[in-house]
Structure 1
């Protein structure tokens, strides 16, 4: 059949318009329909006009003549059409893929991709190298069919779990429900991560004009150190009202700061939301400034309870479960999202960003700046803690306890201002020349002499903390508990062996770590400048003894014992002569001891302290007195040890050290008129002569 050229052109145009809109099967059937209508030679003519293969057109004709019905919607070919899957052709492909993605489970420590990101492209390239050619999309399909998916790491490992972990969760939940059902406030508290202020990068992104990102520093570690301003957000989340209160501190995250944040929340918001409340439940983690171990935390809460009249119950989450605290995912997470991608350049930015935090569920947050000073190192004694109205619960009393609303008039609560005032009074008391061994002018001279060295030492310490030179002027935050003058005074008192570090801790309400560090650093400076202090003959074993002696002249049992044993009837010389002998022997005795210890150490003494406890169980004056009594044959060494309350070895060592010095001083021994068999006989003899032995 002959077809005109005009018909061919029209057929070609029709195919050009229609075929691009059809799928594979539809095109094949449309071409076959035209070929059947044209009759003989139609297959070749249609194939040329459409630019298709004659085989394709002929196959379409066979499908029409065979009466094949329509295919299911969405399919172009019959089921089973197309080439075989690559995993069916290569049976070793899937095992090789699993060996790459599961090297640990399959015991393959030498897997090629063990230390490489296992992306689809990397997996496909490694499989191809091993002789299993495959594409990245096919690898993704195979992994999904094997039950794999993209997974991020899950923070679920909490270390060794406490045996009471689950029981504590249940108990805490019961406490929350009981307080809420009674209309009592329940708050979740914690300190958020400290934020450095400056043009520093902050994770996250925010909408800005294209090509105009916020310019931030590329190396934030230059801004680490004691001189960098830091914002310390401490949050209080009200579980019932879905509201947050954030107190942004500028100094230190201490227990005093934590309780002050709770106090501010109660005064500004809590008592208004709960006007009839007489109890308060606090849920907190086990560490940080609100740690269940901190005495200061409990002492400050007791002061808060007395001030507000609330009975405060605290329930701590078990160790390692702080992220279960409601405040973490109901308040802090939203704050982080709100300031993402925004450098925290000032306290105003921090406070306003926190206060602007909102959620669709109704969360509202109030934030304010707290520029108060909260120095570290404050200590609370065990005796003071025992005096507080704290009742441990039957269920793990260290984690769960209730603080009664004791009246403020009972005097058991100490405010920060009272604590500072008491510390100043103690420092003034320690300047007594009888304790310091110096007049006021001599003590000031020593302070001025050490001041430049103290400043240099502090700058060196901050240089090490910063890891480099100072990049900005020092801030006003971080007020220390002790001034440089106070540090010198405390070190002098300790080196004179007036008392141990433990007594200084109780007197000043400063923890032992701070006291030890102060003495160690100042003592190093004094040793470098060859500054020595004389030892006192008055040793105080408790803070009460020292206070009573300094304020009222009360004597201690040790003083009374030394006074009794220095009776002329025992020493064979007037007290004035004995004191002169002690004064002459003390310095060479200390020098001899230091020389012997130098030989034992094999070098100079390491700078610092000895942990706050003196090695000597009795003073140097008592050692000289014990040697004099022994030389006179008053009693044996065992009786002397019982009199002084020390071991026989201590007395023996004292005699061995002091006797050569007495010989050099040409001390003439006068035998005692009477020898005593026991310590009781010695003390009885002294008492009969009108002395108070102890």
Structure 2
């Protein structure tokens, strides 16, 4: 309120008086409140303490040194050209691939004839709305088209199991930790100048305790955690052994009437959906416990949304931050001591067992598993039964022609049967025309033998169209489609190359299915339990 009525000297003396009253730190506080430099306030304090007459001087209006941006009108545009994004800035600037610090920017501007200091560069950048920024992890890369639907599917399965009193657990392997005097991230209160002494390099000491592999099981409903600290390898056998220990010690007691178990896991690692040993070990666990074990894998690239990450592992990391993990006992005890205000309790134990790597699981072993792949993304969602499902082997002894009889099912093709018949008829006619034209060019003349004589095609035109639709629906691999039609994979490849351009010419787009199959028996089991539904055309 007083500043507009005071001249320069009076303002300076007033700020100096206020700074003296505030004592230590008063100069900085007054300078920030008055939006002037600390030097100006300090001059006012010095003038008051000196007591000279007259106190200070008064400049004429407009006097004093002008701001650098006012003296040099081209300074601000030149600075913005250096710090703005590359597509809007100067593509030939030598600072394009270097750190744009205020010192580097000041040096570059000075070299172009704009004399400026690093502090003035910082002031100008703040005036233009710039600030020091770090990278922000927001770009998730390629998103799966069914990602949101898969989260909803996992959520529905979890609600269904918890509503029935069955356990739902989230599993994963925490980051491997070096055991010994190694630096651990974070800070912890210590006497000043006495930090914990650790190694200068994080190289594993082969003669030391080795490493620790914490595998966690988080019970979503009970808000409890179980961590097995392994010392050998992070394998599927180790992961399932940890789940087995949890069930024997806690799960069977907390859920005495449970008949099912739902596991949510990442898409990769020792519990990944492509890991065959994971499925075989779970099948053995299902046979031991009598539980129907359902596994729902998180979409690729979304492991941070797995419940165990932010409800268990994050609290463990905070609990032992800034503390060297000098032994396995320290790790186990630190995990045990992890709690939260919401009531989280954690049990931890050491698993010194040895788990071999490189174990091969053959196709025959996988085919013998009592596994049922769900209709919705069966490669990521599946159930392992205590005993083999009777429907799994329905088609084992049937010839390929009999197995292929139900492949026109709307749930496989994604089209109603009338729509499929029209499409097959149109493309079959066109395929026969193109095939006849190609053979005529090879012969160099008209047909000599009657149509139908000679070797028969392995696939009719209608079957080539149907095989291509099933392949584009991504129901399974090319080898699976070949088994369904009783031909080799090369025949399916040729069929796809022939039919796919015709689909594009006719404006048909085949949408991928959410169901995935691995063997003809999986397809037969799927059809055996299919329900008549209203299927919209996928083309």
* Range class of TM-score, shorter chain: 0.5 to 0.7
Matched, 1:344 2:325: yes
Aligned to 1:184: 166
**TM-score scaled by length of structure 1:** 0.45
Matched, 1:240 2:221: yes
Residues 1:114 and 1:358: Cα distance change in structure 2 (over 3 Å): farther
Residues 1:105 and 1:366: Cα distance change in structure 2 (over 3 Å): farther
Residues 1:132 and 1:303: Cα distance change in structure 2 (over 3 Å): same
SS at match of 1:220: coil
Where does structure 2 lack aligned partners over 5 or more consecutive residues? 1-15, 28-47, 389-539
SS at match of 2:161: helix
Matched, 1:117 2:118: no
Matching of residues 500-649 of structure 1 within 5 Å: none
**TM-score scaled by length of structure 2:** 0.57
* Contact 1:100/1:112, CA 8 A, preserved across alignment: no
SS at match of 1:247: strand
Residues 1:300 and 1:126: Cα distance change in structure 2 (over 3 Å): same
Q: Equivalents in 2 of 1:385, 1:120: separation in Å?
A: 62
Query: Once the two structures are superposed, what CA deviation does each residue of 1:199-255 show, in whole Å capped at 9, x if it has no partner?
Result: 22222222222222222221232x266986221110112223332211101111111
* Contact 2:80/2:89, CA 8 A, preserved across alignment: no
* Contact 1:194/1:230, CA 8 A, preserved across alignment: yes
Counterpart of 1:260 (choices 225, 230, 241) is 241
Aligned to 2:147: 165
The alignment yields a C-alpha RMSD, in angstroms, of 3.7
Residues 1:275 and 1:94: Cα distance change in structure 2 (over 3 Å): farther
Matching of residues 309-324 of structure 1 within 5 Å: 309-324=290-305
Residues 1:57 and 1:385: Cα distance change in structure 2 (over 3 Å): closer
Matched, 1:105 2:106: no
Q: Equivalents in 1 of 2:83, 2:188: separation in Å?
A: 35
Aligned to 2:52: 51
SS at match of 2:288: helix
Counterpart of 1:216 (choices 190, 194, 198) is 198
Deviation (angstroms), 1:317: 1.4
Q: Equivalents in 2 of 1:19, 1:158: separation in Å?
A: 52
Matching of residues 332-411 of structure 1 within 5 Å: 332-406=313-387
SS at match of 2:145: coil
Matching of residues 437-456 of structure 1 within 5 Å: none
Q: Equivalents in 1 of 2:139, 2:207: separation in Å?
A: 33
Residues 1:55 and 1:17: Cα distance change in structure 2 (over 3 Å): closer
* Contact 1:389/1:404, CA 8 A, preserved across alignment: yes
Query: Once the two structures are superposed, what CA deviation does each residue of 1:654-687 show, in whole Å capped at 9, x if it has no partner?
Result: xxxxxxxxxxxxxxxxxxxxxxxxxxxxxxxxxx
Matched, 1:198 2:180: yes
Aligned to 1:527: none
Residues 1:116 and 1:277: Cα distance change in structure 2 (over 3 Å): same
Aligned to 2:131: 149
Aligned to 1:284: 265
Q: Equivalents in 2 of 1:240, 1:268: separation in Å?
A: 17
Counterpart of 1:297 (choices 274, 278, 287) is 278
Residues 1:96 and 1:182: Cα distance change in structure 2 (over 3 Å): farther
The structure, 1 or 2, with the larger RCO (C-alpha pairs under 8 Å, 6+ apart) is 2
* Contact 1:232/1:250, CA 8 A, preserved across alignment: yes
Residues 1:20 and 1:383: Cα distance change in structure 2 (over 3 Å): closer
SS at match of 1:391: strand
* Contact 1:103/1:111, CA 8 A, preserved across alignment: no
Aligned to 1:91: 73
* Contact 1:299/1:388, CA 8 A, preserved across alignment: yes
Matched, 1:274 2:275: no
Aligned to 1:464: none
Aligned to 1:308: 289
Q: Equivalents in 2 of 1:346, 1:19: separation in Å?
A: 55
Q: Equivalents in 2 of 1:174, 1:83: separation in Å?
A: 70
Residues 1:219 and 1:402: Cα distance change in structure 2 (over 3 Å): same
Query: Once the two structures are superposed, what CA deviation does each residue of 1:337-371 show, in whole Å capped at 9, x if it has no partner?
Result: 22222222211111112222233333322111011
Query: Once the two structures are superposed, what CA deviation does each residue of 1:390-448 show, in whole Å capped at 9, x if it has no partner?
Result: 111111100011122339xxxxxxxxxxxxxxxxxxxxxxxxxxxxxxxxxxxxxxxxx
Query: Once the two structures are superposed, what CA deviation does each residue of 1:13-72 show, in whole Å capped at 9, x if it has no partner?
Result: xxx999955999xxxxxxxxxxxxxxxxxxxxxx9994254796999xxxxxxxxxxxxx
Q: Which has the higher helix share?
A: 1
* Contact 1:292/1:316, CA 8 A, preserved across alignment: yes
